[in-house]
Amino acid sequence: MIKVDISNVWSQFSLPDLLAMEKEVMSAHETLMTGSGEGNDFLGWLELPVWEETDEIRRIRMAAASIRENSDVFVVVGIGGSYLGPRAAIELMQGANHNIGKGRGNPQIFYAGNSLSTRGWNELLRLLEGKDFSVAFISKSGTTTEPAIATRALRWMLERKYGTDGAKHRIYAITDPAKGALRQMATEEGWETFVIPPDVGGRYSVLTAVGLLPMAVAGIDIMQVMQGAFSARKTYDVRSFENPVWLYAASRNLLYRSGKAIELLSSFEPGFKMFGGWWQQLFGESEGKDGKGIFPVSAEFTADLHSLGQMIQQGERNLFETMVRFAPPAQKAIVGSDWKNLDGLNYLEGRTLDFVDEQAYLGTVAAHVDGGVPVISVDAGDLNDSKLGEMFYFFELCCGVSAYLLGVNPFNQPGVEFYKRNMFQLLGKPGYEQK
């Protein structure tokens, strides 16, 4: 079980304050689990974790095996949760530099359709040059501008390289089961398809084929991921503050009510950076509405202590931190000796890097708490495929409960459409003419 430590937040609220929220948290949890609140038509993610392989998961594993066998590169086309979830999983498990040295049998994985940058597109073209590649097009509608542009271009590239028949065996569509432009396109062209259930929103879709296919292509055991999430589904169905979901959701809302409007999620693992990006979308889109919401930002320590550390330590006191920790890996790194000791590090001779990292963590917590920044610590334990599934499900549950505590619908995002409307007017899209 993931452990949540709130011993470093008591300067902002008291134990009686926390206990006084019990009925409120109970109600939010019940609202989520019984589907009695706003957005209850998007609760399918609660039922996604399974213990035994389904037909969909079997097909995902077969598709991943085919991609690994015939491709040097696998391109994931999507935006928001359609790429943040799989990228978060792969980089957390394998590191930000996981693509180095990969190829046929263990493809490099790149992402497209998440920006409108010409430089980004040209970079992808250079990376694909001379490579055999396959593509997953991920979209419920198939008409979202950024991935739709990338889909059109990559489809054309595949058909030119392999012919129409050859290309269709390298294209996988992950979309709505019955409707939308991508579903129609896949049906007409004969592409293999996987389903995003209609009752699962994009930011909660990582445990569907959206996340599972790229994970499987990367060599992650997706049944271990699902079983970890399945165990979490049982473990965190506890109606008391013994449940770390309750502790995290209640604490962040109490801190918000005391004026802490920014949450900084940090980890001392470089590979956690994209998980922080996934978390930002999950909480930002779920809570930021009706003039409310805790602004979510993420940081990588210790690197960002040398850029954001001054602001965290002595800037405006309107933020709190959530620090995610993992157990050290089995393979150790030891600080060596140097008889000249010009760098002054001989006092660490023989120490493991994990030991140094732990002291940096403890020192950072103490400094930030002393500086008026409350710190919630999340101990995830051993990092493995099963833990990955548990972490995704844990934070999704926390988000649902927290948003209901905040008094907002966790599953809509009405504000997202405003920039699109303005962009479509400027582009001259039919139906969006200026009036």
420 is catalytic: yes
- Say if strands 3-8 and 375-379 run parallel, antiparallel, or are unpaired: antiparallel
| C-alpha to C-alpha distance for 206 and 156, rounded to whole angstroms | 28
For the sheet with 192-195, list strands across it: 108-112, 73-77, 133-138, 171-175, 192-195
DSSP notation for 299-315: EETTGGGGTTHHHHHHS
Collapsed DSSP state (helix, strand, coil) of residue 422: helix
Of 91, 146, 269, 285, which residue is the catalytic one? 285
Collapsed DSSP state (helix, strand, coil) of residue 21: coil
285 is catalytic: yes
Token couple for 206: 């990582």
| C-alpha to C-alpha distance for 201 and 323, rounded to whole angstroms | 27
Would you say 73 and 111 are in contact if contact means Cβ atoms under 8 Å apart? no
Element (H, E) at 194: strand 192-195
23 is catalytic: no
Of 23, 306, 340, 435, which residue is the catalytic one? 306
Cis peptide upstream of residue 175 (ω within 30 degrees of 0): no
Any long-range contacts for 359-362 (C-beta under 8 Å, 24+ apart)?
360/268, 360/301, 360/302, 361/268, 361/301, 361/323, 361/325
DSSP notation for 363-410: HHHHHHHHTT--EEEEE--S-SHHHHHHHHHHHHHHHHHHHHHHTS-T
Which amino acid makes up residue 126?
R
Token couple for 164: 């129409």
Residues with Cβ within 8 Å of 154's Cβ and at least 6 positions away in sequence, in order, are: 75, 77, 112, 135, 137
Which amino acid makes up residue 110?
F
- The one-character DSSP state at 186 is H
User: Length of the chain, please?
Assistant: 435
Q: Where are the alpha helices (DSSP H) in 222-326?
A: 222-235, 244-257, 273-287, 309-314
Residues with Cβ within 8 Å of 375's Cβ and at least 6 positions away in sequence, in order, are: 8, 9, 320, 321, 322, 323, 365, 368, 369
| C-alpha to C-alpha distance for 73 and 368, rounded to whole angstroms | 43
The catalytic residue positions are 285, 306, 420
